[in-house]
A and B are shown apart, each in its own frame.
Chain A
Amino acid sequence: MWTKEVINMIIQGIGETLYMTLVSTLIGYLFGIPMGVLLAVSDKEGLRPNPVLYKVLDVIANITRSIPFLILLILIQPFTVFVVGKSYGSSATIVPLVVAAIPFIGRMVESSLKEVDKGVIEAARSMGASDLRIIVRVLLVEARTSLITGATIAIGTILGYSAMAGCIGGGGLGDIAIRYGYYRYQADIMVVTVVLLVLLVQVFQTVGMAIANRLDKRK
C-alpha cells in the first residue's frame, strides 16, 4: 500500500498545506496588523480614542469570528470563485482562510499592543512624538515578543483550519486524511497525515517561541 504514488501524494499534501498556511498567514497579517493597530488606537484608553471606529471594527471581528470555519468556507464560495476563478484546490482555500484569519490576527495584535506600558507611551509623547511615530517606533517595537508569540498561535490555528478545507476538496494533508481515512477507510494513511499535521504545528511552535525569546531584551 505504500506505493510511490501514495508517498508522492503525501509529499504534495505537505507542500499544499504549507503553501495555504503560510500565504494565508502572510496576507492575514497584511490586513490584520492595521486592523489590530486601529482597534488598539481607537479604544477608549488608546492613543486616539474613537468609539465609533472601535465599535465598527469590534462588531466585524466578533461576527467573523463567531461563524464556524466550515460554514464560512461554504458561505463565501461565490466570493472565492470571484477572486480565484474556482471553488476547490489549495489556492481557492486561501480566500476563506484569509477572511477567517484577519479578525483573529487583528484581535491578537490588539491585545499585544495594549500590553505596552502606558508610561513608555507617555514618555514618547512628552518628547514630542506624533501618534504615527508612537505606533511604529514604540508600540510595534515594544510589543515585538508578544506579536511573535501571537503569530505562532495564528499559524497553528490557520494550519488547523486549512485541514478542515479538505471537506470541500481544499487540498493539502486534511484533504488526504478525509478522502482516504473517511471515504475509503484507509486509517493508516489518515494516521500518517495526522502525525504529519501534529509535527508541522510542533515545528512552527518551537521555531516561533525560539525567535520570540531571542528577540526579547527584557531579561
Chain B
Amino acid sequence: MSEIKIENVCKSFLSKDGNVDALKNVSLTIESGDIYGIIGMSGAGKSTLVRCMNFLEVPTEGKVLIDGKSLGDFSKKELRKQREEIGMIFQHFNLLMQKTVLENVCFPLYIQGKKKAEARKRAAELLEIVGLSDKQKAYPAQLSGGQKQRVAIARALASDPKILLCDEATSALDPQTTSSILELLKDINQRFGITIVIITHQMAVVREICNHVAILKEGEVVETGLVSEIFNNPKSAVARELIRKDIDSGAGGGRIGTQPLIRSGEIIRIVFSENSAFEPVIANLILTFHEPVNILRADTKNVGGVAKGEMILEFAKDSENAEAMKQYLRERGLAVGEANDYVD
C-alpha cells in the first residue's frame, strides 16, 4: 500500500505582487518503505510540497493521503495526532537552543504524554542509535552541524514515525558530514522500515540513497521514476542540468578537458554500468567504424551502490556513421542520449 499519495495538489500564496503558484497540479505516489527524493532548483516548490505532506502548508486544491486517509478530513486534534507519525528534519536543524540534547529529544515524547523518567530513558536510547550517547548533557550550541542534525534525527524518531520528511537536511553540511548523515538515514530506513522523503537540490544526495525521484520545476513535476533510470536516460532538460551539475561538483571526477577547435559534430551522452565496463567499447567502436571519436568528458559515479560511468562523446563532423555508432553502443548495453545542449 502506498504510504503517501499526493493528488492534484495546487498551492498558491498571496504576495505583494499578486498570487504566486508554488505548486501546480502535483501528483505523486510514495510507496511504503521507500527512500524518495524530490529534487529541483531553488524556488521549484520542493519545500512547499514536503510541508503539504504533514499539512504545515494546507494545499489550496487537491488531496494528500497518508495510508489512504486524507489529511484534509482531519480535525485539528486528529491532525496533530497524525503529525506524531510523520517525523521531520530541517536544513537548519531547528533545535531548542536553551535545552540540552537529551531534553530536545524528549520534547516529542512529552507531547505524547510520556512521564519524564520514561521519556529520558527512550531519548537516551535514541541518542545511542544516532551515535551521540556522550552528548546528552550538551547544549546544541556546543555541537557541530552534523551532530545537530543527528540530534534532530533522534528527535524525529522519538515518536516512532512511519514517515520521515527531510527538508534540505544536508544542505548546510560539508560533503563528508553529508555522507555520514545519508548513511544514517539509509540505516534507519532499513532497520525500522521508515519511509523517507528527501527534499534536496543536490543530485549527489538523490544518487547516493534514493530509490525513486521526482524532479520539480516551477511547481510542476517534470519527471518521476527510478533514480537509476533517470540517471541513465534523463528526459527533461532540468534532469540533465542537475546531473551535469552533480558531475561538475564531483571531487577528482576524472574529468577530461576539451579542445574547442575540434568540436563540431554531434554530441552524445553514454552511460555504462559495471557489466559493460569489461569490454573496451570506445576503442572497439573506433576500430570498427574507422572514425575518430572525441571524448569530451568521462566520469564515474556511485548510483545507489552501483558504479555508473558517464561519457560525453562527440562524433566527427558530418559523420555518416553516427546513427550506426549509436546503435553499436546500445547493442553493448549502454544508455545513449542526446547531449547537444552540452556546454563545457
Contact = CB atoms under 8 A, between A and B. Distances in A.
Contacts of A56: none
A218 to B, nearest CB: 5
B9 interface: no
B26 to A, nearest CB: 20
B307 interface: no
Interface in B43-66: 54, 56
Contact of A126 (B54, B95, B96): B54
Interface string A115-146: 00101101111111110010001100110110
A219 interface: yes
Contact of A129 (B82, B95, B111): B111
Given A127-B107, A128-B80, A137-B107, A217 B98 contact: yes
Interface string B125-163: 000000000000001010000000000100100010000
Nearest to A119: B94
Contacts of A218: 97-98, 139, 141
B330 interface: no
Given A119-B92, A133-B111, A137-B107, A126 B98 contact: no
Interface residues of A, number: 24
B141 A217 contact: yes
A126 B141 contact: no
Nearest to A129: B111
A52 B99 CA distance: 35
Contact of B94 (A123, A129, A133, A219): A123
Contacts of B111: 127-129, 133
Nearest to B88: A126
B83 to A, nearest CB: 4
Contacts of B96: 120, 138, 141-142
B34 interface: no
Interface string A192-219: 0000000000000000000000011111
B107 A141 contact: no
A137 B104 CA distance: 11
B108 interface: yes
20 contacts: A117-B94, A119-B92, A120-B94, A122-B90, A122-B94, A126-B54, A127-B108, A127-B111, A127-B155, A128-B159, A129-B107, A130-B80, A133-B111, A137-B107, A137-B110, A138-B96, A141-B96, A145-B98, A217-B97, A217-B98
Given A126-B87, A142-B96, 4 more contacts: A122-B94, A127-B155, A137-B110, A217-B139
